[in-house]
Amino acid sequence: MTTHTILVTGGSGFVGSHVILQLLAAGHIVRTTVRTLAREAEVRATLEKAGADTGRLSFFAADLEKDDGWAAAVAGCDHVQHVASPFPQSQPEDEQELIRPAVNGTLRVLRAARDAGVKRVVVTSSFAAIGYGHGQRHSDYTEADWTDVNGPAVQPYMKSKTLAERAAWDFVAAEANGMELAVVNPVGIFGPALNDDLSTSIWLVKSMIEGRMPGLPDLWFGVVDVRDVASLQIAAMTHPDAAGERFLAVAGKAMSIPEMADVLRTGLGPVGARITRRRVPSWVVRIMALFNPMAREAAPRLGIRSNASNAKARTLLGWQPRSNEEAILATAHSLIELGLIEGTR
């Protein structure tokens, strides 16, 4: 196996950590960026607890909204995995709070990579850049689709991912000087949490298990395991045919929140006893949306099943993701093992 030097942006995040784990396990030399080096010890400890040998891992301070640090971080790298991007718990009042760092940060990383002679950059985009602004749709989304940022109920996060990815493709077409780009577009990312810094998807599972979700709305999500996102990122980095391509990271058909609850209840036995069976009618959510920000965000998506195809990643890269059920249960088991489910410690 050829050993490469690879920069992973956002190494303290959920996806970034799993990408680092797999790159180190494969024998690569890995660098990662964090906003402040004060987080190095914490991130290193998290990775080592997950089984990593961090002797080939180094840290660089770099912020998506600042130029400082990027040139040093990427110098001498063969490839870059650009994973870092803002993901809020709630939508900001000013959408530019998300759009600006997503777009400008992506361009900063691409410019630094080009100037350093990097061969290929893999950008972690999102299904948010593919499947929104179209209303109800009965055919599966593919990599040929793009979110309509001016479409109905397109929120700032979806706009930020769409505009950032479009900016990346435009940059590579116009001024990359031969540097290659591949993009991975995950749906809702589940799978093993590594610490108590939990993503939005993981919080959903935690809330259900702890009985903090009083009712189950008719909301649907694509599901993919974070370990499979990481493996697809790495395949997109190394496979000769991946250059210039997008890849949807999705395990199978979309799941509803009630279906997720059923999987957890069945798979966890007594630990899942607090998971409600109560369904929340959509009309109730729409009334709540008048005064509840979270319900307001959810209301436009009620009943919409946005299915996506993983045929391209399977066919071109040989990618074989875990099932929806395995990803959901892996999330739950990791939370239990980490002692993060109240009432099970």
Model pLDDT, residue 206: 95
Distance of CA 287 to the CA centre of its chain: 31
pLDDT digits (tens, 9 = 90+) for 82-118: 998 765 556 667 888 889 889 999 999 999 999 999 9
Catalytic residue among 119, 159, 161, 312: 161
Model pLDDT, residue 341: 94
**What's the pLDDT band for 345 if we cut at 50, 70, 90?**
low
Average the pLDDT over 73-86 and give the result: 93
pLDDT digits (tens, 9 = 90+) for 51-65: 999 999 999 999 998
Model pLDDT, residue 257: 96
Model pLDDT, residue 91: 65
| Number of separate helices (H) and strands (E) present in the chain | 12, 11
pLDDT digits (tens, 9 = 90+) for 292-328: 777 787 888 888 889 999 999 999 999 999 999 999 9
Model pLDDT, residue 301: 84
* pLDDT surpasses 60 at 256: yes
Q: Is 253 a catalytic residue?
A: no
pLDDT digits (tens, 9 = 90+) for 187-211: 999 999 999 999 889 999 999 999 9
Model pLDDT, residue 87: 59
**This model's pTM is above 0.85:** yes
Question: For residue 19, which of 235, 198, 316 has the smallest C-alpha distance?
Answer: 235
Model pLDDT, residue 295: 76
* pLDDT surpasses 90 at 136: no
Q: Where are the domains of the chain?
A: 5-191+224-251+306-321
**What's the pLDDT band for 134 if we cut at 50, 70, 90?**
confident
Higher-scoring residue by pLDDT: 50, 153: 50
Could you give the angle at which helices 200-209 and 324-337 cross, rounded to 10 degrees?
70
Average pLDDT, the chain: 93
Question: For residue 120, which of 129, 109, 128, 108 has the smallest C-alpha distance?
Answer: 109
Question: For residue 187, which of 15, 332, 13, 1 has the smallest C-alpha distance?
Answer: 15
Beta strand 180-186 with 188-190 is: unpaired
Higher-scoring residue by pLDDT: 23, 288: 23
Q: Which residues contact 262 (CB under 8 A, 6 or more apart)?
A: none
Model pLDDT, residue 110: 98
Between CA 248 and CA 250 the distance in angstroms is 6
* pLDDT surpasses 60 at 76: yes
End-to-end CA distance of the chain: 43
Backbone angles phi, psi at 141, to 5 degrees: -75, 150
Element spanning 319, H or E: none
Between CA 233 and CA 235 the distance in angstroms is 6
Architecture of domain 5-191+224-251+306-321: 3-Layer(aba) Sandwich (3.40)
Question: For residue 205, which of 249, 134, 287, 268 has the smallest C-alpha distance?
Answer: 268
Between CA 122 and CA 80 the distance in angstroms is 6
Question: For residue 106, which of 92, 91, 79, 124 has the smallest C-alpha distance?
Answer: 124
Model pLDDT, residue 299: 81
Model pLDDT, residue 339: 95
Question: Please, are residues 158 and 129 in contact by the beta-carbon 8 Å criterion?
Answer: yes
